[in-house]
Chains A and B, each alone.
Chain A
Amino acid sequence: MKRIDSVLLVDDDEVCNFISVTLLKHLHLSESIHSVTNGNEALRFLKENAVIETATVFPEVIFLDLNMPVMDGFGFLEQLNKTMPAYASVCKIFILTSSESPLDIDRCRRYDIAGYISKPLTEEKLEVVAR
């Protein structure tokens, strides 16, 4: 598997973040892994830690949950799309969720996302991510 420069996990479920972090570390896929617990925090993180449109410091992969308090996954995608319409050229966003609702899947199609992954993250699923 190809290494990933930096990963941002956006999920209010701490255990789920723990699983993803442990897995990524165990597979030595990335050394730079951050996690935040909602869309709002994710936006703040991007603002503070990434010089927008500079691919090197922008997380290469974002795992985004859909159901979160404060700002959910759709809110985050909407805001990101507004401030940085070309986000897909610098980072791959994977929806990582336990929702299998066709409505949610369809709503995601409106945004430029790299894939839809059902929880939990596993080695097989990461193979698609780190291709």
Chain B
Amino acid sequence: MDQVSDFFTGLLSAALWPARWYCGTWTDFHGWLYILSSLGICASYFLIPISLFYVFIKRKKDLPFPHLLGLFSLFIFSCGLTHFLDAIVFWIPLYRLHALLLFITAIVSGVTVFYLYKVLPDALTFTSPAQLEKIVAQRTLELAQKNNELIKLNKEMDNFVYSTSHDLKSPINNIAGLANILKMELPQGNASVDDLLLRIESSSSRAIDAIHNLTGILKVHTEPYDDLELIHIQTLVEEIIEENTILVKESQVVIRYELNASNIFFSKTALKSILYNLIINGIKYKSTDRIPEIIVRSFPSVDKTIELHVADNGMGMDLDAYGDKVFCLFKRFHDHIEGSGVGLYSVKKIIENKGGSIAIDSKVNVGSTFKMILPQ
């Protein structure tokens, strides 16, 4: 025990031995070969952990076996220290410190070997970057194939829906037409017959609407809306009104324009579909105690976007209650008026596909304002 305490108290003592130069017979060549080689090894052993530490910092997340890397760095570093001392002792014989450093190195290398043994099975299964790249390439190919299959299936599905809906529409239209003729052929005034015919009519018109909505949803997803052109907003609105003369006349709606930007460069089909839905909604959900009024408003373009508003003075919606559901598919808030819950969903989808956004301001019995920001 005396030896041990003596060792540690005189750890840095250099008085007990001669410097290595004077221990035995060293030629200059032999001595300097030893010293310079030791210092060379020491320099490399210091640089290796520094480089590894740099790699560790840069690729912290995806580096395999980080603990092993740390242990290895420590092991190399302590080896470097022993070599440094090995050169120093030529002048200052710090043999005790040298021994201590060798001891530490021995422990660190022992721990490293143990850890290496533990992770060896994992390391054996570890894939090299080249193997990984190969796997990624193969998976990418598989994904591309699957994607192509999906695109093809999707197209077939779309065509299926389109042709089925067309095939369904024809006979239902015929049923409506035949019921209409039957009404003309039958003598008037039979209440139960009239009621039956009315029910046939409303049923067939509901079936037609359902099919119409089905293809409508499909269209929003598949239509490329690439018919970009400079659109005169007021002309487009007038076109929509003209195509819905009956509804517009019946409702006595007043359309006003506050257009600070009169044109917009956008897909005409898309904008027509958007404005159609908002204007028709404004008419359909009008307030019962005032003449419906719809204002189409545009603002000067900012950063290549145009803000467009469609405001009505209709029934409005309680946004606190339904706010987040306004643009959802098949969500409806006015039960007594015919509707499908597709319109606003389509509007939002089209606008978002085009990279724009839509928001709504609404107050019950005051009206709703739809605010759109459309990229040009």
Contact = CB atoms under 8 A, between A and B. Distances in A.
Interface of A: 13, 15-16, 19-20, 22-23, 26, 67, 98-100, 102, 119-123
Given A23-B180, A119-B173, 18 more contacts: A15-B174, A15-B177, A15-B178, A16-B174, A19-B174, A22-B181, A23-B177, A23-B181, A67-B166, A98-B166, A99-B166, A100-B212, A100-B215, A102-B269, A119-B177, A120-B180, A122-B177, A122-B180
Interface of chain B, helix or strand or loop or mixed?
Answer: helix
A123 B177 CA distance: 10
Interface in B164-190: 166, 169-171, 173-174, 176-178, 180-181, 184-185
B181 A26 contact: yes
B347 to A, nearest CB: 15
A98 B181 contact: no
B269 A120 contact: no
Contacts of B176: 120
B274 to A, nearest CB: 13
Contacts, number: 50
Given A100-B212, A102-B272, A120-B176, A19 B170 contact: no
A99 B184 CA distance: 26
Contacts of A23: 177, 180-181, 184
Nearest to B211: A98
A22 B185 CA distance: 10
Among A20, A26, A119, A120, max chain B CB count under 10 A is at: A120
Contacts of A26: 181, 184-185
Interface of B: 166, 169-171, 173-174, 176-178, 180-181, 184-185, 212, 215, 269, 272-273
A98 B176 CA distance: 12
Contact of A19 (B166, B177, B269): B177
Contacts of B269: 102
Question: When A and B form their complex, which 10 residue pairs have the shortest distance between CB atoms, in order from nearest?
Answer: A120-B177, A19-B177, A119-B173, A98-B169, A15-B174, A120-B173, A22-B181, A98-B173, A120-B176, A26-B184
B346 to A, nearest CB: 13
A98 B215 CA distance: 13
24 contacts: A13-B174, A15-B177, A16-B173, A16-B174, A16-B177, A19-B174, A19-B178, A19-B181, A23-B177, A23-B181, A23-B184, A26-B185, A98-B169, A98-B173, A100-B212, A102-B272, A102-B273, A119-B177, A120-B174, A120-B176, A120-B180, A122-B177, A123-B180, A123-B184
